[in-house]
Amino acid sequence: MNKNTDQSELTGGCYCGLVRYRISGKPDKVAFCHCQSCRKISGAPVTVAVMVRHERLEYTNNQPKYFTSSKDARRGFCDECGTPVCWTGTWHNKEQVFVYVGTLDDISKVHPDRHAFTDSQVPWLTVNEELPGYDHSSPSDALISEQT
Ligand SMILES: [Zn+2]
Ligand SMILES: [Zn+2]
């Protein structure tokens, strides 16, 4: 069941507060990401990120600094405290931003609904196994629409 329907706004930022953002509307998906890039960049065995359309994310303080991590993705981080905040690129034919849920002010407002890049999952990590998993990137909003 998709629980990501009730909140109209999510806010968050980096550890030091230099980068601050606001997301309007519900996330299009909330995915565990097991890919190697996220693992390296976060230093954590798995990450969770909310996907939102570019125009629904607004920076309310400084913007993150970006570097290009692959041909498909640019990674945003705070250049003061180093917090990885998001990555951005084109998926599902739209410019999307994935924001790491660890940077949200209230992480309890979002609920992961899938696993992406399970082909890279750490073998000793088991978490929320009842959620659907995808070898690579996960499909678009179809899954969420089915559930609402
Ligand atoms: Zn910072
Ligand atoms: Zn990833």
Q: What is the pLDDT of residues 82-138, one digit of tens each?
A: 999 999 988 777 889 999 999 999 999 999 999 999 999 999 999 999 999 999 888
More confident residue, 144 or 38: 38
Tokens of 112: 């992961």
Distance 122 CA to ligand 2 centre (A): 13
54 within a domain of the structure (yes/no): yes
From the number of C-beta atoms within 10 Å of its C-beta (0-12, 13-18, 19+), residue 11 rates as: middle
Q: What was the pLDDT predicted at 141?
A: 57
User: What's 50's domain CATH number?
Assistant: 3.90.1590.10
110 within a domain of the structure (yes/no): yes
Determine contact, residues 96/52, Cβ cutoff 8 Å: yes
Put the strands of the sheet holding 20-24 in their side by side order.
9-13, 20-24, 57-59
148 within a domain of the structure (yes/no): no
* Ramachandran angles phi, psi of 10, nearest 5°: -125, 140
4 within a domain of the structure (yes/no): no
Ion ligand 2 nearby residues (CB, 5 A): 33, 35, 38
| pLDDT above 90: residue 58 | yes
Distance 127 CA to ligand 1 centre (A): 28
CA–CA gap between residue 136 and residue 34 (Å, rounded) = 9
48 within a domain of the structure (yes/no): yes
2 within a domain of the structure (yes/no): no
Q: How many domains does the chain have?
A: 1
* Mean residue pLDDT across the chain: 89
Whole-model pTM?
Answer: 0.88
Q: Which ligand is nearest to the CA of 61?
A: 1
Q: Which ligand is nearest to the CA of 91?
A: 2
* Domain around 57: 9-123+131-138
Q: Which residues contact 125 (CB under 8 A, 6 or more apart)?
A: 45, 46
3 within a domain of the structure (yes/no): no
147 within a domain of the structure (yes/no): no
Distance 85 CA to ligand 1 centre (A): 9
**Residue 145's pLDDT band (boundaries 50, 70, 90)?**
very low
Distance 17 CA to ligand 2 centre (A): 23
CA–CA gap between residue 45 and residue 36 (Å, rounded) = 9
